[in-house]
Structure 1
Amino acid sequence: MDVQPQWTPMAFSQSSEDSWTLTHVSGDLFRCPEDESLAHCISEDCRMGAGIAVLFKKKFGGVDELKEQKKISGQCAVLRREGRFVYYLITKKKYCNKPTYDSLRQSLEGMKSHCIKNDVTKISMPRIGCGLDRLKWDRVCEILKDVFEHTDINITVYTLPETTVKKDQPLS
């Protein structure tokens, strides 16, 4: 099923010295424009065995490259794939742990620094930390604003469109 993104701007404040944006999109993250970097959360052990991390591992590989970077919780590992950066926000020690808002903020700060040094101005991501990790999206949005509001980095957050399946309807 080919789902076209639906654009819904999120509310944010913007001053004259910055041009950051936060946009919410319903669609497939992996169909984002090819000039946008990607980001998601993982653990230090780089397990990526559940949730959207499985799709990142399958699409971009590089688990050994990530492990060689020896990043710890609160840092950001990076791969270069298909002409763009893929950011791995390290938000917890082990896959079975839960992140904190502080570790998420620290890893986002690391990603921001890399973006600024490498002229990255577009990042697409899922609702980071809010799936299996169960962080609250309202608080994550505030962290994104705090970290990126004085940059020219545009962030697009993807969520899959909701589908309704009837009780006796086949899933094919």
Structure 2
Amino acid sequence: MVQYIEYGDIFGIEGVQNYAHGCNCAGAMGKGIAVAFKEKYPRMYVEYKRRCKTGEFRPGDIYPYKDAAGYVFNLGTQVSWTTRAELPAVEQSLRKMMTFAVENGVYRIALPKIGAGLGRLNWEEVKLVIDQVAADYPDVDLYVVENYKVEAGL
């Protein structure tokens, strides 16, 4: 099931401890929600950067990072921060993430609108891909926050 949330904070969704975000494969997390991931999971960032440098993380790949609460799925959606995201890479990384989730007992994942912000893809096209992939994995719930917004007073 996919639940689209118009405004919110992926890190503030009740009952969700697993997160995903689209990444470039050049080792940079300097803009957008990637900065929050880099700050929240500094060890993950170091390993992500290493994987990019050695060519172990490419478009269509995933890098699942396990912390005490759950997983962070880094989804390889674009070559670098200067290039557009690639719809086939979005689909491939989502499928790999969902397969990993089923195999590892992960049933709830929150993510931003991947590929359509800094990746510059058409959001409606990306949503179709998300819906198609999610339909093949009915045991995993995706919570997609379309616009980042922290609630006042939090």
Q: TM-score, with normalisation over the residues of structure 2?
A: 0.84
Is structure 2 residue 39 aligned with structure 1 residue 51?
A: no
Taking only aligned residues, the RMSD between alpha carbons, in angstroms, comes to 1.8
Contact 2:57 2:63 in 1 (8 A): yes
Alignment-derived partner of residue 104 in structure 2: 118
Is structure 2 residue 128 aligned with structure 1 residue 147?
A: no
| Equivalent residues in 2 for 1:1-172, closer than 5 Å | 21-25=1-5, 26-33=7-14, 35-61=16-42, 62-69=44-51, 70-151=56-137, 152-158=139-145, 159-161=147-149
Question: Identity over the aligned pairs, expressed in percent?
Answer: 27
Whole-Å separation in 2 of the counterparts to 1:148 and 1:24: 12
Whole-Å separation in 2 of the counterparts to 1:101 and 1:122: 23
Contact 1:130 1:137 in 2 (8 A): yes
Whole-Å separation in 1 of the counterparts to 2:78 and 2:20: 15
Runs of at least 4 residues off by over 6 Å? none
Which runs of no fewer than 5 residues in structure 2 stay unpaired?
none
Q: Give 1:33 shift.
A: 2.9
Q: Give 1:49 shift.
A: 0.8
Relative contact order (C-alpha < 8 Å, sep 6+): which is higher? 2
Structure with more helix by fraction: 2
Which structure: larger Rg? 1
Q: Give 1:132 shift.
A: 1.4
Whole-Å separation in 1 of the counterparts to 2:76 and 2:68: 22
Q: TM-score, with normalisation over the residues of structure 1?
A: 0.76
